[in-house]
Chain A
Amino acid sequence: MEMLTFSHVEKHFGEKKVLQDASFSVPEHTIFGFIGKNGAGKTTAMKLILGLLACDSGEILVNGFPVRYGNTRTNRFIGYLPDVPEFYPYMTPTEYLHFCGEVAGMPAKECKARAKELLRLVGLEKERGRIKGFSRGMKQRLGIAQALFGRPKLLICDEPTSALDPAGRKELLDILAAAKEQSAVLFSTHILSDVEHICDKVAFLHEGRVALHGSLEKIRRLRKSTSMEIEMERPEDAKTLLAAFPYLQQKGRTHLQQEGTGMASGLSMQCGWQKGNAHLLLEDTARLPEILHFLAGQELPIQRMERKEPTLEDLFLEVIAK
């Protein structure tokens, strides 16, 4: 059954169109990755689902019930982690979770047990102090705990890993993977390797539309062609090679490495240019023997030769370049 259906939704702020005819759906027991560049409208879409913003047109269903703007009954099914979570600073994390439980009408005894369990899960069990002194990452951890507290059928997390340390990020991915047992999970992120690790379905949001939508395998299959990257030791050799095989591409823009952050890739690009750009890209791998033959004949030294699997990053860059 579909836990969340988002159909033909339009939303604009004044003149600015943020969502136009956006449609996707999240089935039960699925982790749904929500991707898009800054300002694509991910947070806006989530707020629409929670009834915190009004749709201009279209319909959103949560667990089969329509979402209305403002006071909406559908929020009973939802656990939400905002992008910048804010809690009452004068409470301790335990008190805050008790408050969450009481709000949801949970018996006091169960509340206590669940609060303890969740604080351990998110690694805040030793925090005795009030939320006032919490760092952003700690607030995000508490945010996960409160979102999970009522065992929601739909868990919505807005960039849940944005402030977490590397260990915390891994823990969070495990938590989300475990949450799949009882909930549908919708989460937005900019870290595409996370999406590849745990998501079942993905949607790319671009210019107000869902540019790509489907299971991870299906999306991977869209770009099946693997390519070959060749790096010569000397830039001159790269030129020779390029002259002999015009279908080779000189790599102007380095593709992001899978683990690479924006900074690191920027760095490697710089190095490439300094070296006079000895990088070449072969898209049609069937022609590799030809080139190898040539290289062997001319005794040109190779620095590196690598088979490149298409990554979500490539796809992402391709989608936003369209």
Chain B
Amino acid sequence: MKAFLKKEWMEGLRTGRTGILLLLFALFGIMNPAIAKLTPWLIETMSESFASAGIVTTAVTVDAMFSWMQFYKNAPMALLLFLLLSSGSFTAEYQKGTLIPTVAKGLPRWKILAAKALALSALWTALYFLCYGITYGYNAYFWDNHIAAHLLFAAACYWMFGIWLLALLVLFSTLAKTSSQVLLGIGAAAIALYALSVFPKCSKILPLKLMDAMPLLQSLASPQDYYAPMALSGITALLCIALSIPCFNRKYL
């Protein structure tokens, strides 16, 4: 399994996938405070033309909260990019047949699955907290992070949502033949979730709630409200991985 982890790491580096993701996540990290910093200036320069159009603008003050708002607005984009670039982790190997020599050497298949799942979640964790760290640093430098409550917990909620999606990705990868089928599966699962979250009772515990982190920062919600969706995500993620092992064992490579 260590051998396969090493291979995954090398694959990420040498195909440039890790590099691209690193760049993107760093960019997102910088963008959040940058947008916050630029907004007042933008509004000021535009206020003249607004004034001539009859719109009165008041001077806006931005703070760390505004920057964190950008963070949670951009995070879905980052997550989507991450999923897009990772969706071929299994399927590319099925299509090229590169797993066949490895499996033919008697490496138990669950080790391949575990190595891939571990590599994906480690990469997501590293990239996500890099993005978080950059935003945090800039925010601390320009403003003050203390006006936002439960910063780390809120961030962990969103991270958990990413892990949950990754578990889905692994499961669909053991069922599907191509990466578009994997993405389709994840998309379908997301739509089903949105459909369910129409009911207030459900929306309180569904993993989607983890994306809604701003109320935490603004002290409009308490961490307790997030325990149920956290637990549900964790359990279903584990279930997905557990289910994917027998599927992968019988997968036609």
Enumerate chain A interface residues (CB-CB to B < 8 A): 50, 52-53, 69-71, 73-80, 82, 84-88, 90-91, 95, 99-100, 102-104, 143, 146-147, 149-150
B105 close to A71 (CB less than 8 A): no
CB pair B101–A80 under 8 Å, yes or no, is yes
Name the interface residues of B109-133: CB closer than 8 Å to any CB of A.
Answer: 109-110
Taking CB atoms, residues of chain A closer than 8 Å to B252 are: 52-53
Partner of A88, one of B7, B105, B253: B7
Can you identify 15 A-B contacts, CB atoms within 8 angstroms? A50-B103, A50-B104, A52-B100, A69-B250, A70-B109, A70-B250, A73-B106, A84-B97, A90-B15, A103-B4, A103-B102, A103-B105, A103-B107, A104-B105, A104-B106
- Nearest Cβ distance between residue A321 and chain B, in whole angstroms? 35
B201 at the interface (CB under 8 A from A): no
For B98, give its contact among A74, A88, A143 (CB under 8 Å).
A88
A82 touches B97 (CB 8 A): yes
Per the 8 Å Cβ criterion, residues 196-253 of B in contact with A are 248-253
Q: Is chain B's binding surface mostly helix, strand, loop or mixed?
A: helix
Tell me the bound Cα distance from A306 to B233 in angstroms.
Answer: 81
- By the criterion CB–CB under 8 Å, are B6 and A102 in contact? yes
Interface size on B, residues (CB 8 A): 29
Q: A52-B253, A102-B2 are in contact. Are A71 and B109 (CB under 8 A)?
A: yes
Give Cα A104 to B105, complex, Å. 7
B103 pairs with A75, CB closer than 8 A: yes
Judge whether B106 and A86 touch: CB under 8 Å: no
Smallest CB gap from B14: residue in A: A90
Instruction: Name the CB-closest residue of A to B107.
Output: A103
Give 19 new A-B contacts, CB below 8 A, not counting A80-B100, A87-B98, A90-B14.
Answer: A50-B104, A52-B100, A70-B109, A70-B250, A71-B108, A75-B105, A76-B105, A79-B105, A80-B105, A84-B97, A86-B96, A86-B98, A90-B11, A102-B3, A102-B6, A103-B3, A103-B105, A103-B107, A104-B106
Binding site for A on B (CB under 8 A): 2-4, 6-7, 10-11, 14-15, 96-98, 100-110, 248-253
Measured CA separation A77–B106 after assembly (Å): 8
Q: How far is the CA of A143 from the CA of B109 in the complex (A)?
A: 21
Q: Tell me how many residue pairs across A and B have CB atoms closer than 8 Å.
A: 84
**In the bound complex, CA of A70 to CA of B101 (Å):** 14
Is the beta-carbon distance between A78 and B106 smaller than 8 angstroms?
Answer: yes
A69–B246 CA distance with the chains assembled, in angstroms: 12
Q: How far is the CA of A79 from the CA of B101 in the complex (A)?
A: 8
Q: Which residues of B contact A78 (CB under 8 A)?
A: 104-106
- Specify which chain B residues have a CB less than 8 angstroms from the CB of A75 in the assembled complex: 103-106
**Complex contacts, A150 vs chain B, CB 8 Å:** 105
CB pair A100 B105 closer than 8 Å: yes
Min CB–CB distance A64 → chain B (angstroms):
15
Q: Give, as a whole number of angstroms, the nearest-CB distance from B20 to chain A.
A: 15
B173 to chain A, nearest CB (A): 16
Given contacts A52-B253, A70-B109, A82-B97, contact A90 B102 (CB under 8 A): no
B6 vs chain A, min Cβ distance (A): 7
Closest to A98 in B: B3
Contact between A86 and B104, CB atoms less than 8 A apart:
no
Residue of A nearest to B251 (CB): A70
* Distance A84 CA – B252 CA, assembled complex (angstroms): 17
Q: Contact check, B103 vs A99: say whether CB atoms are below 8 A apart.
A: no
Contact B101 A146 (CB under 8 A): yes
Instruction: Output the nearest chain B residue to A149 by Cβ-Cβ distance.
Output: B105
Cα A90 to Cα B8 in complex, Å, equals: 11
Contacts of B7 in A (CB 8 A): 88, 91, 99
Q: How far is the CA of A73 from the CA of B110 in the complex (A)?
A: 12
Q: How far is the CA of A30 from the CA of B97 in the complex (A)?
A: 29
Complex contact B101–A85 (CB within 8 A): yes
Question: Smallest CB–CB gap between B194 and chain A, Å?
Answer: 35
